[in-house]
A and B are shown apart, each in its own frame.
Chain A
């Protein structure tokens, strides 16, 4: 029993890191631009398929091809932003959230159908020579590739955090999150900050997609589930707290995983939503967010 719980905690942390990474991307976009891009999950899906294609067609190792995937998603992000989202910049926050949600839903349908055409509805995954490698401590199993994914997710979040803390553009992003009008009074070109944040958020979705495709599986309709997870985790961690989102992801992963020891696995989605409701009731600013002053 204890072993089973421990093993589930390990698996929970490993999947949770990917929830976290998915949420950090969404949180970066939402925190800065107030665009609620519900197609975030579809962008994750596309990231997964780019990695899958590079692996199938060019025999590129998924970890080697990661920079290419990031590049592809950066360009995709730029195109989507210029084509669809740039018009939303000037709207008030409330209208912005509503309109971008509608755009996001439309975009997710389009991307899903493109994926269906290109890759069919079959589950796909990237299976390398080392995919099955596992090391064990006691009776607890650690799949090597998922550990590597966890490390990459963690490194990405740390890099983001360093950029936000140390660089001028990072500080401009944080200032914009808090008060875009004051930021523009300082000389920050807010529309450029929006563009950068959006594009980087999309690239992070691409990284998450790659890591999902190597450790789990991808299919064209996976997007909505991941958007939902990212939303839950974003609220769990506290909107605008990026490290919080990452930890929130791990909290959700572990909670879901442990729950399967005690109740049937088909209820694991419910556990996440319950956690979400509890946080909203008792700590609406999120587990790691600060109360609004």
Chain B
């Protein structure tokens, strides 16, 4: 469903991605792993239209997304949970979720989708009138994911969902992500926590210095000595 071909992307004169190609198929849970600064977040920004690539194409269900502005890409069915969640701290939980259903299609089914989100994250329903700024780190991350789900995405992308969470919450978060995938939402996940990401995903790409350095099923990647040495330390 999602296909990146030969993406070259720059921040001013600095090249961040070098000929990145990757693919995510319907129903999959794919991980993109790599160390800090490898270009994982940049890849997400390119897909969501926040950063336009210099060359290469982003295709979604065969439609080229390169020329479409960021606010239209969510209408195509791609939703991103940015790093750190970036919820609207001065707005209530409910208002954050409403913002998630901003597009006209999503707005029509707002109430139904919200019930679905509350069924995954009952915690959010308990806190719905509170300002997002008063939530704990874990709750904010849940809100960020819930907000992204409100747009009824066909592809949900998560940038470092374990960022800043207590170890016990990380486990929890990953099992919730697996649960969402089982509900039929395709997931593309960026993680620094390589072990957890590879345990969860069926397929993964390894990004190094802006280039794809490895790809394949997670079992195969886990059996590579290089990857074990570089990312798992075992």
Residues of A bordering B, CB below 8 Å: 168, 171-172, 174-175, 178-179, 181-190, 290, 293
Inter-chain contacts of A172 with B (CB < 8 A): 99, 102
**Taking A171-B95, A187-B74, A189-B71 as contacts, is the C-beta distance between A179 and B88 under 8 angstroms?**
yes
**B100 on the A face (CB < 8 A):** yes
Q: Is B54 an interface residue (CB 8 A)?
A: no
CB contact between B103 and one of A183, A187, A190 (< 8 Å): that residue: A187
Taking a contact as CB atoms closer than 8 A, the residue among B71, B72, B90, B151 that contacts A178 in the complex is B90
Assess whether B75 is interfacial by the CB under 8 Å rule: yes
Q: Is B171 an interface residue (CB 8 A)?
A: no
Contact of B74 among A168, A181, A186, A190 (CB under 8 A): A186
By CB atoms of chain A within 10 A, which of B72, B88, B100 has the most? B88
Instruction: Classify chain B: how many residues form its interface, as a range.
Output: 20 to 34
Residues of A with C-beta under 8 A to B87:
182
Contact B91 A175, beta carbon cutoff 8 Å: yes
Q: Is the CB of B71 within 8 A of A187?
A: yes
B140 to chain A, nearest CB (A): 11
Beta-carbon contacts of B49-68 to A below 8 Å, as 1s and 0s? 01000000000000000000
Across the A-B interface, give the 10 residue pairs with the lowest CB-CB distance, nearest first: A187-B103, A187-B74, A187-B102, A184-B70, A182-B86, A186-B102, A184-B71, A189-B71, A186-B99, A178-B88
B85-129 Cβ-contact flags toward A at 8 Å (1 or 0): 011111100010011101100110000000000000000000000
Q: Name B86's contact: one of A179, A187, A189, A290 (CB within 8 Å).
A: A179
Residues of B within 8 A of A168 (CB): 98, 102, 107
A28, chain B: closest CB distance, angstroms: 15
Q: How far is the CA of A280 from the CA of B98 in the complex (A)?
A: 35
Q: For residue B68, give the distance in angstroms from its CB to the closest CB of chain A.
A: 12
Interface assignment of B147: CB less than 8 Å from any CB of chain A: yes
